[in-house]
Amino acid sequence: MALSPGRRALVLAAATLAPGCIIIDGGGDDATVGDTSPESNSAPTSPSESDSYGTDSGYDSGYDTGYDSGYDSSDSAETNDTSIEPTGADNDPEAGCPCAPGTDLIYVLSDVGEIWSFDPQDLFFKRIASISCGGFSSTFSMGVSRKARAWVQYQHGDLYTVDLNDPSDPIECLDPGFEHGHPKFPNFGMAFVANSLFDTCDKLHAHTAIGPGVIGPNSGALGVIDPYTLKLDEIAPIDYGWGELTGTSTGRLFAYQGSAPPLLNEYDKESGELLDTLALPGLTSDSAFAFAWWGGDFYLFHDPNDFGQSSDVWHLDYDESDGSGQALKKIVSPAPIRIVGAGVSTCVPAGPV
């Protein structure tokens, strides 16, 4: 999610959870990123304008805790008075909720409204398209459904959907009919999560996004959006008012939240009970950040320079399948875009590939 300069957070309270133990490797591996499509007219952006992106082990760990609860002025004039078609919800599930084409990768959203895919097996970024949502700017977060629809939220709070299989560029947004303005969820991180290990159909879950320093008892909440009515209901209060979510095909829900350092927490998606926690030293969550589950591991995206031009990509071997414990390693630096949202469908592999 992206945070405008006027939305930097005020620390309301401090709460510390006992972090788990992970192994950090800030060096990372060199990775090549770019667009594999020969028709792409958008080259990756970097200081060298090169398709080859090396790893930079440095990052800026400082952050400003000043926070203005108002929206960025660029969003304040945005309203819902658009010509966007009122369709595109996932509230018409087919029997068994099959996987559409284009639901096997991680998808990322830039702060200027571009969607790219990221292949966690070869660490390759590919530009999909820009999105056209009635002239809105300032994207905030994203989730991806089994129908290959990206659900995109803007800083003014409303949700729109984008068909990832639409060959257009830009892709026109559709309006699923979500009514924003829930007091606990002015903005939110989001992810689709399977109903259970035995039920592959899923629901869109939400995490309060008020400000990075909003930490303390019941300062935030987890929520879920009904797939038929698109009503957002609170599941339970939590101690973090700023976070992103990712989910799995087995019904597990994870949050990237807190700061200095941020945490990776697992919650029971029915009760909101905290099940597990790991610290993420070397990462930040004060500006652009996102993450996704794929193949039993996590891929985490963050802007190491606060309001910089690009993001770094880190890999957490959560299931320890690489044989080195829960190693946390920088694998791409820089990415071709500044990433404010990441989404995976519940069609991606749940375990090692």
pLDDT for residue 178: 92
Beta-carbon contacts of 172 under 8 Å, excluding residues fewer than 6 positions away, are 84, 85, 132, 166
Residue at 329 is within a domain: yes
Q: Cβ distance 1 to 141 under 8 Å?
A: yes
pLDDT of 74 > 50? The answer is no
pLDDT of 77 > 90? The answer is no
pLDDT of 2 > 80? The answer is no
Residue at 72 is within a domain: no
Q: What share of the chain is helix, strand, coil (3-state, %, to 5)?
A: 0, 40, 60
Residue at 189 is within a domain: yes
pLDDT tens, residue by residue, 137-196: 889 999 999 999 999 999 999 999 999 999 999 999 999 999 999 999 999 999 999 999
User: pTM higher than 0.85, yes or no?
Assistant: no
The vertex-291 CA angle with 241 and 250, nearest 5°, equals 95
- CA-based nearest residue to 204, from 183, 181, 186, 229: 229
Q: Running DSSP on this structure, what letter comes out for residue 88?
A: -
pLDDT tens, residue by residue, 212-225: 889 999 999 999 99
Q: Which domain holds residue 149?
A: 5-37+45-55+85-343
- CA-based nearest residue to 2, from 81, 112, 98: 112
CATH number where 302 lies? 2.120.10
Distances (CA, A) of 4 to 45, 58, 269, 286: 21, 23, 30, 10
Instruction: Kindly give the pairing relationship between strand 171-172 and strand 188-196.
Output: unpaired
Residue at 181 is within a domain: yes
Beta-carbon contacts of 353 under 8 Å, excluding residues fewer than 6 positions away, are 121, 295
Residue at 282 is within a domain: yes
Which amino acid, residue 281?
A: P
Please count the structural domains in the chain: 1
DSSP result, 281-335: TT---SSSEEEEEETTEEEEEE-TTSS-S--EEEEE-TT-TTSSSSEEEEEESS-
* Beta-ladder partners of 243: 257
Selected residue with higher pLDDT from 18 and 109: 109
pLDDT tens, residue by residue, 257-282: 998 899 999 999 999 999 999 999 99
Residue at 65 is within a domain: no
pLDDT for residue 26: 63
Per-residue three-class SS string for 28-76: CCCEECCCCCCCCCCCCCCCCCCCEECCCCCCCCCCCCCCCCCCCHHHH
Q: Cβ distance 226 to 233 under 8 Å?
A: yes
pLDDT tens, residue by residue, 284-310: 898 899 999 999 999 999 999 878 899
Residue at 267 is within a domain: yes
